[in-house]
C-alpha cells in the first residue's frame, strides 16, 4: 500500500494490530495514536498503560502471555513494597518501573508527553511514530453504584466487577489532540485510518472525543475503517461486551459498527460473524469478513494486510 497509515489504539487489542501494521508498512509511514484516558499517577510515577503496551509490543519486548508488561520481568520491587505495607494492587515489574520513572523524570523536566514518548521509543528502538492522543491529562472515569470511579480502580483493583451506567473523560473539553496527531490528520500523504479492535468505550472513545478529531475523521479523504473487537457476541478480553450490555446495546459486531456510525467508511468483522454482515451493509458500510483473531504473529500480519487492502479498495 502506498501512503501513510494512521492507527488509533487502546492497549492489548490495538497493540496486536499495530504490530501487524508495523510489519506491512515502512516505519516512517506508520503513526499510531494511543489512548491516554487510562493514564494515572500511582506510587509517585506517571503510568500510561496503553502507550506502554503498544511501545513494548512494537519493541518486541511485550509479555505475550500476561498481555501487559514486559517479557522476563522480575517483581522484587512489588515484594519489597508489599512487605512495607505499600499498595500492590497495580502490578509494576522492576524493569517496567524504569519506564515510569524515566517518563516521570522527563515530564518533570518540562517535556510534553509526546516528546517523552518519542524519547522512550527511541531508546527501545521503536521506529514507528507512537503518539499519546494528547499531552493534556484526560482521565476516564466510570459511574457505578459506588459513584464515579477512576478507571484503574474499576479495571484493575476491582477487576471490572462494579456495574457501570455511565462513562466520562475528565479534562477532555480542555484537551487538544497531540501535535503529531493533528499533523497526521492533515498530512496529504495519509491514505488509511485504522481504528484497531480496541474497547470502543474506554479505549477509542477518548481519542474520538478530543476536540475536532471526530469531525476530522468524518470529513477525511482517506478511508476510515474499524476492526470489530466483538466476535461472536463476546469480547476476547476485558469489559467491552459487559459495557455494551450495560449501555443497553446489543452485544454484536453490527452494534459496534452502528456505534462508530458515520465516521466509518468500512468495517471488518470476523469469519464467525457472517450473520452480522447484512445488518452492517444496511448501515451503508462495506464489510470485510476475515479472520480477526490475532493469536499468532502470522495472524496479526495477515489481518493488517487485509485491512490495508480493504482500505485501498475504498479510496
Ligand atoms: P486494553 O486497553 O488493554 O484493554 O485493550 P484494548 O482496548 O486495545 O483492547 C481490548 C479489546 O480488544 C477487547 O474488546 C477485545 O475483545 C479486543 N481484542 C483483543 N484481542 C483481539 C483480537 O485478537 N482480535 C480482535 N478482533 N479483537 C481483539
Ligand atoms: Ca487500556
Give, using CA atoms, the residue closest to atom 18 of ligand 1: 13
- For the Cβ of 16 lying below 6 angstroms from any atom of ligand 1, the answer is yes
Give the residue-averaged pLDDT of 205-220: 97
- pLDDT grade, residue 109 (50/70/90)? very high
Residue 191 CB less than 6 A away from ligand 1: no
Give 139's strand partners.
170
pLDDT for 271 beyond 90:
yes
Residue 1 has pLDDT above 80, yes or no: no
pLDDT tens digit sequence for 112-133: 999 999 999 999 999 999 999 9
For a mutational test of ligand 1's pocket, the pick from 7, 199, 297, 302, i.e. the residue with the most ligand atoms closer than 8 A to its C-beta, is: 199
Tens-place pLDDT, residues 140-181:
999 999 999 999 999 999 999 999 999 999 999 999 999 999
Q: Is 306 in the pocket of ligand 1 (CB under 6 A)?
A: no
pLDDT interval class at 41 (50, 70, 90): very high
pLDDT of residue 124: 98
CA atoms within 13 A on the CB side of 248: 2
Q: Which residues does 196 contact at the CB level (< 8 Å), separation at least 6?
A: 7, 8, 9, 10, 13, 14, 16, 17, 18, 204, 227
Cα(132)–Cα(116) distance, integer angstroms: 10
Contact 196, 13 (CB under 8 A): yes
Index of the ligand 1 atom closest to the CA of residue 234: 16
Mutate to test the pocket of ligand 1, among 49, 50, 236, 298 (most ligand atoms within 8 A of CB): 236
Q: What is the mean pLDDT of residues 4-21?
A: 98
Q: Any idea what the Cα angle at residue 310 is, between residues 54 and 202, rounded to 5°?
A: 40
What average pLDDT is seen over the chain? 97
Using CA atoms, how far residue 165 sits from 40, 235, 245, in Å, is 22, 19, 10
Residue 227: strand pairing partners: 268
- Sorting pLDDT into bands at 50, 70 and 90, what band is 64? confident
Nearest CA to ligand 1 atom 20: 13
The answer on pLDDT for 17 being more than 90 is: yes
Residue 46 exposed, middle or buried by CB count within 10 Å (0-12, 13-18, 19+): buried
Ligand 1 geometric centre to CA of 115 (Å): 27
Query: Do 181 and 212 contact (CB within 8 A), yes or no?
Result: no
Distance from residue 106's CA to the centre of ligand 2 (Å):
22
Closest CA to 3 of 308, 224, 310: 308
Contact 59, 126 (CB under 8 A): yes
Q: Ligand 1: which residue has its CA nearest to atom 27?
A: 229
Q: 7 vs 10, 150, 295, CA distance in Å?
A: 10, 26, 20
| Mean pLDDT, residues 11-20 taken together | 97
Taking Cα atoms as reference points, which of 226, 213, 293 lies closest to residue 257?
A: 226
Residues pairing with 190 in the sheet: 4
User: Which residues does 17 contact at the CB level (< 8 Å), separation at least 6?
Assistant: 7, 9, 194, 196, 197, 227, 294, 300, 303, 304, 307
Nearest Cα neighbor of 8 from 160, 132, 155 is 132
The reply to whether ligand 1 has any atom less than 6 angstroms from the CB of 292 is yes
Instruction: Write down the pTM of the prediction.
Output: 0.98
Amino acid at each position: 500500500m502506498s501512503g501513510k497509515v494512521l492507527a488509533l489504539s487502546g492497549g492489548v487489542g490495538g497493540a496486536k494490530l499495530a504490530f501487524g501494521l508495523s510489519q506491512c508498512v515502512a516505519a516512517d509511514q506508520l503513526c499510531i495514536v494511543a489512548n491516554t484516558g487510562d493514564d494515572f499517577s500511582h506510587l509517585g510515577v506517571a503510568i500510561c498503560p496503553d502507550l506502554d503496551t503498544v511501545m513494548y509490543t512494537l519493541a518486541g519486548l511485550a509479555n505475550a502471555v500476561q498481555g501487559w508488561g514486559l517479557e522476563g520481568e522480575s517483581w522484587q520491587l512489588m515484594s519489597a513494597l508489599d512487605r512495607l505495607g505499600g499498595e500492590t494492587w497495580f502490578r509494576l515489574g522492576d524493569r517496567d518501573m524504569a519506564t515510569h520513572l524515566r517518563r516521570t523524570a522527563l515530564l518533570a523536566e518540562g517535556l510534553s508527553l509526546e516528546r517523552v514518548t518519542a524519547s522512550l521509543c527511541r531508546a527501545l528502538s521503536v521506529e514507528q511514530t507512537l503518539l499519546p492522543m494528547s499531552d493534556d491529562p484526560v482521565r476516564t472515569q466510570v459511574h457505578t453504584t459506588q459513584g464515579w470511579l477512576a478507571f484503574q480502580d474499576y479495571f484493575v483493583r476491582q477487576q471490572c466487577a462494579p456495574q457501570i451506567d455511565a462513562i466520562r473523560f475528565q479534562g477532555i473539553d480542555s484537551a487538544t489532540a497531540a501535535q503529531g496527531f493533528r499533523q497526521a490528520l492533515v498530512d496529504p500523504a495519509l491514505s488509511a485510518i485504522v481504528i484497531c479492535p480496541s474497547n470502543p468505550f474506554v479505549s477509542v472513545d477518548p481519542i474520538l472525543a478530543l476536540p475536532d478529531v471526530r469531525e476530522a475523521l468524518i470529513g477525511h479523504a482517506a478511508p476510515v475503517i474499524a476492526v470489530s473487537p466483538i466476535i461472536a457476541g463476546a469480547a476476547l478480553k476485558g469489559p467491552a461486551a459487559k459495557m455494551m450490555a450495560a449501555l443497553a446495546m446489543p452485544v454484536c459486531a453490527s452494534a459496534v459498527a452502528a456505534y462508530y456510525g458515520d465516521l466509518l467508511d468500512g468495517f471488518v468483522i470476523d469469519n464467525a460473524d457472517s450473520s452480522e454482515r447484512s445488518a452492517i451493509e444496511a448501515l451503508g458500510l462495506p464489510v470485510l469478513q476475515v479472520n480477526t483473531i490475532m493469536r499468532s504473529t502470522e495472524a496479526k500480519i495477515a489481518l493488517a494486510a487485509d485491512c490495508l487492502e480493504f482500505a485501498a479498495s475504498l479510496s
